[in-house]
Structure 1
Amino acid sequence: MDVVMKFQAERSVKTILVVDDEGVIRELCARALKGYSVLQAADGEEALRLFEKGGIDVILTDVMMPKLNGIDLLRRLKEIEPTIVVIVMTGYAEKEIILNALKADADDFITKPLNILQLKTAVDKALDKKALKEEIANLKSMDRLKNNFLSLVSHKFRTPLTAISLFLQNLAGGVYDPEDPEFSRNLKLICGQSHYLESLVAELLVFSRFITAGGVLHLEQCNFCELIRSIVSTSRESAAKPDVDEVLDLDPVPPFPLDREKIAFAVGQVIDNAFKFSNSTGSVTITLREEDGVCRLIVEDCGVGIPREELPKIFEKFYQVDPQGTGQIRGFGLGLFYAREFIKLHGGAIIVESEPGKGTRVTISLPRTLPGAS
């Protein structure tokens, strides 16, 4: 079987992460959840590390655990990925624990001692509920997304087209004197608008190609370090911020199978955003490390940052971070949406941490071997 087909078949099996400091409970859950791929973690911190590797669909977590308790783990998980299904297992019936879990958006509860039938039913029900909610949300949002997209495209094209049209009208009307320095300045601005318009069309064509291709991966052996260096050297956003230093700290990683175009797009979006939202001076640090067969690319900037309440929205279609509130952010707000989709296709994960005024840190995790590959 082809590596990609094996990988996709593997991902059709839902993965459950069981988090409990009692090994016997974890083993009981693993045996009860036949038909699922089951991972185990002994505490909340270990659970977060496993979750960051990607590919987990449901998390079953105890409440009382060392290092990071179940409620705090639930909050962290929902901040990272609001749609993740989390079921809380508890032997405690205190109202405060239940209320805290509900406030943190727990999807269901299971009481201890565990009932095997109840456990499997809760997981099945949670997955069905998630799938139904996503389907309903998709159906409801189709018209809204279509209207938003048409409105966004119209808005993005209108600004450069209006500037070019007015310049040409003034030129035809004899308003400009070619010898006037003002003419040269305006001509330079219009050339910039023309290039921007060209980039918008190119971006639309790229997204159109991605939509048509769907979730198909075209894998080839790639040197990830070289790919990152190439992206940085050709980044327009980097070139536009000459006083922002590039700090590359890349450990050598042997070539491994990637869809070069999709991963280059995803990494390019993250790197471009780091420069785009940096101040006029400062630095962007790009670090690559490999641990236990997982490559972690970390991109950090010292820029404007993202408000906490905005973080869950940044991977939505057409959403754009606009720290100045100008409404003039370039692009269509699809870059991070596709970046996350492409990374997930590779069995990876992307996590964004940010604080207004202090910058943003993005971590991309990619396994060097796709699940299911021999």
Structure 2
Amino acid sequence: MLQLTPNPNQSLQLEIEKKTVLIVDDEAVIRDLCKRVLHDYDVIEAGDGAEALEIFHKGGVDVILTDVMMPEMDGLELLKNLKEREPTVVVIIMTGFADKELILKALKADADDFITKPLNLLQLKSAVDKALVKKALKEEIANLKSVDSFKTLFLSMISHKFRTPITSISLFLQNLASGVIDTRDEGAREHIGLVYDEACYLGNLVSELLAFSSFMNGNSDLHLEPCDLKDLIPSLISDSKEWLTKPGVAPQSDLEEVPELRLDREKIAFALQQVIDNAIKFSKDTGLVCVTMRNRAGSCQISVEDNGIGIPKEQLPKIFEKFYQVDADRTGQVRGFGLGLFYARLFIRMHGGSISIESELNVGTRVLISIPHTTSQSP
């Protein structure tokens, strides 16, 4: 992101090598003239709006410089499509028509600047430079709004998640203090066990919050060390607390020998544990949770599969979102914060790997994880 300093031109010059401008015009000569004057940037060309949209969808474009009158898809339609997909994208309109109605339509569609034809090349360079500063400001404002929304959602979720166990513990203690509960009764012992479980759950919530806070406050680097996944995975399977809730579900593993990898053991263990725990948690009362590991060219492939309740197709794209939780029984009382799979994917991606989920209702779920043999930290 651009940093605004007392000398913005100097700061901009340091950053523009990384910026990409997409020039959209059906006239090759116009595209060539623009490319020549914008030689400091990485320039991509498109002959019409449809081609430009296809290029933009691939990512990496910072500014779009587009003509209005083009075949297939004109500049205004392209502008609307771009803004719908990414409101902070900066679009500069080139037009040879000083038509007020056209300008109004472009302004309503949130065009960021206008350049009239014939082109003034100095004006073109200046417009793109200013557009990058505007893009940085837009992104900063969007980030601030996102952070504010995130804080509100997070505080609301913390309040909701803590309220139920605290209420249970408080009611038990009140009844105990008033003499309603006799600790010598068999029923009282059961209540004490339930309250103990609630206290443990509170402890787990606090641990999740501390881990989340640690990562948000800068503990986001990889600490690589030699790691034997064939040794790590069995311990993660056996250590899962979810087995206690599903005594009819059994583990099954088939782990090939893989090269010893340099990994952040803590982060990879966290990611794999989340996937294994979920496979057990969302199993039916009886069944298998199968973990396989295969050595493939250039990567280690791990599969965690269950024959449980499955995940609705419409929920699959949301699985890795922050705070998203699958609520199979629609109770609204799913435990935890819904951060497990979010961080699992993040930690795997930091190792240059990937994670994906296949699922079918009442059939089961399969999670596929790929970790490259050579790890380089990804942003």
Q: TM-score, normalised by structure 1?
A: 0.64
Moved more, 363-372 or 184-193: 363-372
Contact 1:284-1:302 at 8 Å conserved across structures: yes
Look up the match of 1:145: 150
Aligned partners of 1:345 and 1:131: how far apart in 2?
25
Residues 1:344 and 2:349 are matched in the alignment: yes
Post-superposition offset of 1:106: 9.7
1:119-158 equivalences in 2 (<5 Å):
138-158=143-163
Aligned partners of 1:182 and 1:275: how far apart in 2?
29
Post-superposition offset of 1:153: 0.9
Q: How far does the alpha carbon of each residue in 1:194-242 deviate from its partner, in whole angstroms, 9 at most, with x for none?
A: 1111111122112222222343110000001111111111111133212
1:26-105 equivalences in 2 (<5 Å):
85=59
Q: How far does the alpha carbon of each residue in 1:37-77 deviate from its partner, in whole angstroms, 9 at most, with x for none?
A: xxxxxxxxxxxxxxxxxxxxxxxxxxxxxxxxxxxxx9xxx
Residues 1:202 and 2:207 are matched in the alignment: yes
Look up the match of 2:310: 305
Contact 1:232-1:238 at 8 Å conserved across structures: no
Aligned length: 278
SS at structure 2 position matched to 1:177: coil
Aligned partners of 2:344 and 2:218: how far apart in 1?
15
Contact 1:86-1:106 at 8 Å conserved across structures: no
Aligned partners of 1:360 and 1:86: how far apart in 2?
33
Q: How far does the alpha carbon of each residue in 1:150-182 deviate from its partner, in whole angstroms, 9 at most, with x for none?
A: 111111111111001000000100101223222
Residues 1:225 and 2:230 are matched in the alignment: yes
| Greater Rg by CA | 2
Residues 1:163 and 2:181 are matched in the alignment: no
Q: Which amino acid is 1:253 matched to?
A: V
Look up the match of 2:320: 315
Q: TM-score, normalised by structure 2?
A: 0.64
Aligned partners of 1:239 and 1:229: how far apart in 2?
17
Post-superposition offset of 1:340: 0.9
Aligned partners of 1:345 and 1:106: how far apart in 2?
26
Aligned partners of 2:257 and 2:364: how far apart in 1?
27
Residues 1:234 and 2:239 are matched in the alignment: yes
Residues 1:186 and 2:173 are matched in the alignment: no
Moved more, 341-350 or 196-205: 196-205
Post-superposition offset of 1:253: 1.1
SS at structure 2 position matched to 1:213: coil
Residues 1:275 and 2:280 are matched in the alignment: yes
Contact 2:302-2:370 at 8 Å conserved across structures: yes
Look up the match of 1:294: 299
Q: How far does the alpha carbon of each residue in 1:312-347 deviate from its partner, in whole angstroms, 9 at most, with x for none?
A: 111111111111111111111111111111111100
SS at structure 2 position matched to 1:201: helix
Aligned partners of 1:148 and 1:267: how far apart in 2?
27
Moved more, 143-152 or 234-243: 234-243
Contact 2:225-2:262 at 8 Å conserved across structures: yes
Contact 2:259-2:373 at 8 Å conserved across structures: no
Aligned partners of 1:172 and 1:275: how far apart in 2?
38
Contact 1:351-1:364 at 8 Å conserved across structures: yes
Q: Which structure 2 segments of 5+ residues have no match?
A: 1-17, 20-40, 43-53, 62-71, 74-80, 87-131
* C-alpha RMSD of matched pairs (Å): 3.9
Look up the match of 1:46: none
Look up the match of 1:211: 216
Look up the match of 2:257: 252
- Identity over aligned residues, as a percent? 55
Aligned partners of 2:138 and 2:276: how far apart in 1?
33
- The structure whose RCO (Cα within 8 Å, separation 6+) is larger is 1
Aligned partners of 1:270 and 1:135: how far apart in 2?
34
